[in-house]
Amino acid sequence: MKNNKLEVSAIKDGTVIDHIPAGHLFKVINILKLDSIDNTITFGTNFLSKRLGKKAIIKLSNVFFKDNDINRIALVAPSAKLNIIKDYKVVEKKIVEVPDEIQGIVKCVNPKCITNNEKVTTKFTIEDKKKIKLRCVYCEKITDIEQLDTI
Amino acid sequence: MKHKSLVSITDYSKAEYLKVLEVANDFEKNSYQNLLNGKVVAALFFEPSTRTRLSFESAINRLGGKVIGFSDANTSSVTKGETLYDTIKVVSNYAELIVMRHPLEGSARYASEIAKVPIINAGDGANQHPTQTLLDLYSIYKTQGKLDNLNIYMVGDLKYGRTVHSLLMALSVFNANFYFISPDELKMPKEYKMYLDKIGLKFIEKKDIDDTINEADIIYMTRVQKERFSDPIEYERTKNAYVLKSDMMENCRPSMKVLHPLPRVNEIDIEVDSGPYAYYFEQTENGVYIREAIISLIMGLK
């Protein structure tokens, strides 16, 4: 309990992304392009979680996401929760929601898809929100979470 | 349907399938109707396909239209590195309808977003070939007198065969009973079986062509291609197991018909051609009427 509090309250202002499935931490980092921002970031993984087994947490100082960015997270971490921190306090909680349609962000798994051969923005409809199955609007093939590769 | 592209078989509803069939039947009675009256249709074949291209060109000519285009990407500006985007942008200034075949999957949907004229997909890689599916439906309707509650046997390569996938989707709205006969390596993909489960349609999977085919209304044959097998020994072992021969069909229903999207290699014994069940050559003739119907409906001429 004490440890948990310490981790969450460690930033003054910013965003804490909690309940990321441990195996998808680096996918989340990649999708949000966290490797190219200058803000202070701390992340930890393999914390015990009743719901996920093992979870990961990312804490970002002075970073506040737009809704569009939250959708990006939803693809690899649909269970993720965002805590918006202001002056060490959680001022807002956001639940990540898997959108009905995704544009850009994800690559189609099919090498023969037009989107992998010409400069086309990828577009997917979400076939299964729980298991995260994306159907390419163009080639109609399914890309699932294990194959998910971001642009 | 008017001014709407036909990219995927699921772009059309059940009512639209039936409308296409009805209009095709009209063209079968009177195939030469000058509805296009000199209008220009582009046929862009980025990969060669003799049968489909000639069928479309025949349909356009019978409708009194003019065809422009190419039959091979090597004779087009693609060899100069032009993108599909640019080609479609330009050609949609030249023609009132674009028929296209392209080796990349999703290319037709993409083209339909770019073009200011409707697109008819004449095959995009292994993805969709909706005019083939509609001509299959028409062939089934003509030979069985109905589309509802039929026993449909699909044989051969059910994994990669786009024709069987699209036909499955189309027939699923007509309450078909499906039988899938294929080697383990080429089974019907899970997503189609899950779809059938979801809508409550029954299907049976088998490894061999046995006397259950006696109950068939339609046997839809496909080619088992060597390159689909990861193990060449497995191919040698199975290649002859999916060959349809006359003696297998001795107890079949008199109304049963054998369909095949063609080209055929050896999967239907030549003996079958002269028997009562062969319908695969008539099937190609139906393709012309179906394409006349689709073109005239999209152009708003029917």
**Conformational region of residue B174, where left means phi above 0, alpha means psi within -120 to 50, and beta covers everything else:** alpha
Looking at the structure, tell me whether residues B109 and B73 fall in a common domain: yes
Q: How confident is the model at residue A107, as a pLDDT?
A: 92
Q: pLDDT per residue over A39-71, tens digit each?
A: 999 999 999 988 888 999 999 999 998 887 777
Asked if B129 is an active-site residue, the reply is: yes
Range of A30-44, B196-210, B230-244 with top mean pLDDT: B196-210
How far apart, in whole angstroms, are the C-alpha atoms of residue B141 and residue B133? Answer: 12
Q: How many domains does chain B have?
A: 2
Task: Please report, as a single letter, which amino acid is at residue B256.
Answer: M
Is the pLDDT assigned to residue B42 strictly greater than 60? yes
Is the pLDDT assigned to residue A2 strictly greater than 60? no
Q: How confident is the model at residue A4, as a pLDDT?
A: 52
- Mean residue pLDDT of chain B comes to 94
CB nearest B107 (choices: A114, A136, A137): A114
**Which chain A residues have a beta carbon less than 8 Å from that of B125?**
112, 139
Q: Which of B108, B128, B148 is the last residue of a domain?
A: B128
CB atoms within 10 A of CB B21: 22
Looking at the structure, tell me whether residues B90 and B216 fall in a common domain: no
Task: Tell me if B291 is assigned to some domain.
Answer: no
Looking at the structure, tell me whether residues A90 and A139 fall in a common domain: no
Looking at the structure, tell me whether residues B102 and B180 fall in a common domain: no
Report the CATH number at residue B247. 3.40.50.1370
Q: pLDDT per residue over A57-115, tens digit each?
A: 999 999 998 887 777 788 888 889 999 999 999 999 998 888 888 888 889 999 999 99
pLDDT > 90: what percent of chain B?
Answer: 83
Looking at the structure, tell me whether residues B229 and B265 fall in a common domain: yes
Asked if B101 is an active-site residue, the reply is: yes
Inter-residue contact B108 to B124 (CB < 8 Å): yes
Confidence of residue A3 (pLDDT cuts 50, 70, 90): low
Catalytic residue selected from B53, B129, B142, B260: B129
The residue range of the domain holding A59 is: 2-95
Asked if B237 is an active-site residue, the reply is: no
Looking at the structure, tell me whether residues B219 and B258 fall in a common domain: yes
B133 touches chain A (CB under 8 A): no
How far apart, in whole angstroms, are the C-alpha atoms of residue A15 and residue A33? Answer: 15
The residue range of the domain holding B179 is: 131-284
Task: Please report, as a single letter, which amino acid is at residue B254.
Answer: P
Looking at the structure, tell me whether residues A18 and A75 fall in a common domain: yes
Asked if B264 is an active-site residue, the reply is: no
CB nearest A118 (choices: B83, B109, B126): B83
A11 touches chain B (CB under 8 A): no
Inter-residue contact B259 to B140 (CB < 8 Å): yes
Looking at the structure, tell me whether residues B106 and B123 fall in a common domain: yes
Looking at the structure, tell me whether residues B90 and B179 fall in a common domain: no
Q: How many domains does chain A have?
A: 2
Looking at the structure, tell me whether residues B124 and B143 fall in a common domain: no
Looking at the structure, tell me whether residues A32 and A68 fall in a common domain: yes
- Span B159-174, mean pLDDT? 94
Inter-residue contact B274 to B234 (CB < 8 Å): no
Looking at the structure, tell me whether residues B115 and B156 fall in a common domain: no
Looking at the structure, tell me whether residues A65 and A11 fall in a common domain: yes
Interface test with B, best of A109, A120, A124 (most B CBs within 10 A): A120
Q: Which of A55, A77, A95 is the last residue of a domain?
A: A95
Q: How confident is the model at residue B185, as a pLDDT?
A: 86
For A:64-93, CB contacts with B below 8 A are none
Tokens of A14: 């910013």
pTM score: 0.86
How far apart, in whole angstroms, are the C-alpha atoms of residue A82 and residue A66? Answer: 12
Confidence of residue A1 (pLDDT cuts 50, 70, 90): very low
Contact yes or no for A112 and B103 at CB 8 A: yes
**Which chain B residues have a beta carbon less than 8 Å from that of A141?**
105, 127
Q: Can you give the length of chain B in residues? A: 302
How far apart, in whole angstroms, are the C-alpha atoms of residue B229 and residue B236? Answer: 10
Asked if B79 is an active-site residue, the reply is: no
Q: How confident is the model at residue A6, as a pLDDT?
A: 46
Backbone angles phi, psi at B67, to 5 degrees: -110, 130
A117 touches chain B (CB under 8 A): yes
Looking at the structure, tell me whether residues A86 and A140 fall in a common domain: no
Catalytic residue selected from B52, B87, B131, B238: B52
Range of B142-146, B162-166, B224-228 with top mean pLDDT: B142-146
**ipTM (interface predicted TM):** 0.90
Catalytic residue selected from B101, B223, B257, B291: B101
Report the CATH number at residue A134. 2.30.30.20
Q: pLDDT per residue over B219-229, tens digit each?
A: 999 998 887 77
Tokens of B26: 């009209």
Could you write out the three-class secondary structure of chain B?
A: CCCCCECCHHHCCHHHHHHHHHHHHHHHHCCCCCCCCCCEEEEEECCCCHHHHHHHHHHHHHCCCEEEEECCHHHCHHHHCCCHHHHHHHHCCCCCEEEEEECCECHHHHHHHHCCCCEEEEEECCCCCHHHHHHHHHHHHHHHCCCCCCEEEEECCCCCCHHHHHHHHHHHHHCCEEEEECCHHHCCCHHHHHHHHHHCCCEEEECCCCHHHHHCCEEEECCCCHHHCCCHHHHHHHCCCCCECHHHHCCCCCCCEEECCCCCCCCECHHHHCCCCECHHHHHHHHHHHHHHHHHHHCCCC
Looking at the structure, tell me whether residues B177 and B261 fall in a common domain: yes
Confidence of residue B90 (pLDDT cuts 50, 70, 90): very high
